Every structure is written in structure tokens, then in C-alpha cells.
Structure 1
Amino acid sequence: MSNPDPDEGPGIDLPSAAPTLHLARRLAHELADVASVEINKMDRGLSVTITPNNAQARSFGWVDFPEEVILHVGEVGGRWELGSGPDDMTFLAAVARSVVAGHVREVFARGRSVVSVMLADGSIETETGYEGLVGCLPLPFWRRWSKSIQYAPYR
């Protein structure tokens, strides 16, 4: 979905999702030539998925519920649970801009990944996610010997 005006879009009227809806529509407008932006209304919120045309860039998205926003930027890791306050919305926008700029690195191992996003101010936000059997510990130093990808920018 791409719209010429970031304040217009599909018939989604969710007052609680207004900040993330506005960001999604702005990104759809700004990224129209380099990515697809899907904005979907759900029973209790809003789902946004941004998929770059460049296969070497990282897709991302978020789900906006009335109580929280869940941001996804990785295969397994890269999941941030945010509130709906101004600081959380600033963080969401900053991560989105960094992903689009290609400032994302992901390290993979079996059943886990760690995602690092470098923000515009130079700080790095890191989140590790695990899948698999409960109680299984990862091999030592898995981040050193595992596959690592530095994602490309959208443009």
C-alpha cells in the first residue's frame, strides 16, 4: 500500500492507534518506491508490515494494541514490547528510520538470534530472542561463531 498523502489511507479509524497509524502512513508515502507497507486493522488493534524491495534489507513491523505496541525487527530476536507513551513512539520511529537506513545487524544460531539496531544518535539497541526447548542453554560464545548479517539500506 502506498499513499501520496501520509494522512490518508485505508478506512482505519482507531484513536488508540493514531500515533503508529500516522507513522505507518508516513512511511508508506516516503518508501513508496523502495518498499511495500501493509496496514491492516485487527479486532483489537492495528498491524503494520514493511517489506523492502531490496532482498538484502531487513523487513520489520509492529502490532499496535490498546495497551501495548510490539515491534518486530528480526527472525527470532528483535522483539520490543513498548507502551503507547511519547517516549515509546519516539523509539518506534527511531528504530524504523534506522532499519530503513540499513543500521541493523543480526547474528543467528539455532533457535536464537540477536538483533542490534544503531539509532541516529549512535546508541545501539539490542534484543535477543530464543525459540526451542525450554531449559536448553545456548552454546558458549554463540554470537562469535554464528552467522552474522549486516542488512542493507532500503535505498
Structure 2
Amino acid sequence: MQDDGDESPDDEVSVRLAGLADGLRAELVGRATVEHVEHETLRGTSWTLRPLDPRSAPVWWLLLEDEVMVQVGQFHRGGSWELDRTPEDVDLVERIVRAAVEGRVRETVALARSRVVVTLVDGQVMAETGYVGCLLGLLPLPGWRHWGRVVQYVPYRAP
């Protein structure tokens, strides 16, 4: 550890998130790949879990100096959570990733928006809606969650 109060690059959070990626890489051989990128401009590290079956939900998580972000789904609109850089929030990242691997993710998609619903192993439901684009994201689409295209992602398996 450093003495100046700065977070060490090998703190518990970074070690656990890297360990999550390493464990998934070994566990999901033939079902998914794990990509790791060091972002010098962001001063962070990201991992992307890409299932080989296109009907499964990809997951991306990013570790920054003071936060952890996780994104689930194929459309990169909804399904994004900004979390604190704490062991408790790493637990949540692990639970979200596990839900994706086990096929407990549903995404409703419409023009410039999507809503991702993740069901954790204990039955807790997490949902997040995201929008993209200035004009299209602001365009009202009454009832879009009911008529939008629903994607129920499947568990990770060999294609």
C-alpha cells in the first residue's frame, strides 16, 4: 500500500474485479471470452465478458479511481449502473455478472432507449433505463415499455 492515502492499484476492489474476470475466463471456456483493457486516459481498467452465443447478454465493467461501472445488454442504452468503489459494490457487480451468465436478464428496446431488468440469484430485481441521442432520446414514446421489442437473454452456452 502507498503511504500517501491514494488507492493502490492492487487494493481489494481491483484484485476482486480482476479475479472475477480470471475466474470467468476459466469457467466459460467455449462459451464466452473475457477482454481486458487498461485505459490510460480514463486511468481505469475495463473487462468485457462476451458470450459466444449471440442470444446471451454481454457484460462490461469498468474500474475507475473512485467508482465502478457495470453495463449489461447488447444495445448499450439501459442496463448501466454507477457504483461506489467498495467491496459491497463489487459483490453487486459479481451478482449482476452471474445473472447474465445464467440468463436472468431481459431488455426492452425501442427507438433510442432500452430498459434492462436483471434478476439476481436471491430474487432481487434491478432495472435501469437508458436513452441515447439528444433529440431521439427526448422524443416521447408513450407505452414503449409495452410495445418495444423484448429480448430475454439465454444462459451462456456453447453455440
TM-score by length of 1: 0.86
Q: Following TM superposition, by how much is the alpha carbon of 1:132 offset from its aligned partner in structure 2, in angstroms? A: 2.1
1:35 to 17, 32, 45: 32
Structure-2 change in CA distance of 1:14 and 1:29 (3 Å): farther
* Letter of the structure 2 residue corresponding to residue 138 of structure 1: P
Identity within the alignment, %: 40
Q: Following TM superposition, by how much is the alpha carbon of 1:70 offset from its aligned partner in structure 2, in angstroms? A: 1.0
* Letter of the structure 1 residue corresponding to residue 67 of structure 2: E
The equivalent of 2:57 in structure 1 is: 58
User: Are 1:26 and 2:23 matched, yes or no?
Assistant: yes
Secondary structure of residue in 1 paired with 2:134: coil
Secondary structure of residue in 2 paired with 1:15: coil
Unpaired stretches in structure 2, ≥5 consecutive residues: 1-7
2:138 to 136, 139, 148: 136
* Letter of the structure 2 residue corresponding to residue 77 of structure 1: G
The equivalent of 2:103 in structure 1 is: 102
Secondary structure of residue in 2 paired with 1:106: strand
* Letter of the structure 2 residue corresponding to residue 136 of structure 1: L
Secondary structure of residue in 1 paired with 2:138: coil
User: Are 1:122 and 2:117 matched, yes or no?
Assistant: no
Q: Following TM superposition, by how much is the alpha carbon of 1:137 offset from its aligned partner in structure 2, in angstroms? A: 4.4
The equivalent of 2:3 in structure 1 is: none
Cα-to-partner distance string for 1:30-73 (whole Å, 9 max, x where unaligned): 11221000112222121101111111111111111121111111
* Letter of the structure 2 residue corresponding to residue 93 of structure 1: E
Cα separation, 1, equivalents of 2:29 and 2:140: 40
Unpaired stretches in structure 1, ≥5 consecutive residues: 1-12
Cα separation, 1, equivalents of 2:86 and 2:129: 24
The equivalent of 2:9 in structure 1 is: 14
Whether the 8 Å contact between 1:14 and 1:45 is mirrored in structure 2 is: no
Cα separation, 2, equivalents of 1:105 and 1:124: 11
Q: Following TM superposition, by how much is the alpha carbon of 1:125 offset from its aligned partner in structure 2, in angstroms? A: 0.4
Whether the 8 Å contact between 1:36 and 1:52 is mirrored in structure 2 is: yes
The equivalent of 2:81 in structure 1 is: 80
Question: Matched residue pairs, number?
Answer: 143
Cα separation, 1, equivalents of 2:38 and 2:52: 23
Cα separation, 1, equivalents of 2:90 and 2:21: 12
Alignment RMSD, CA only?
1.6
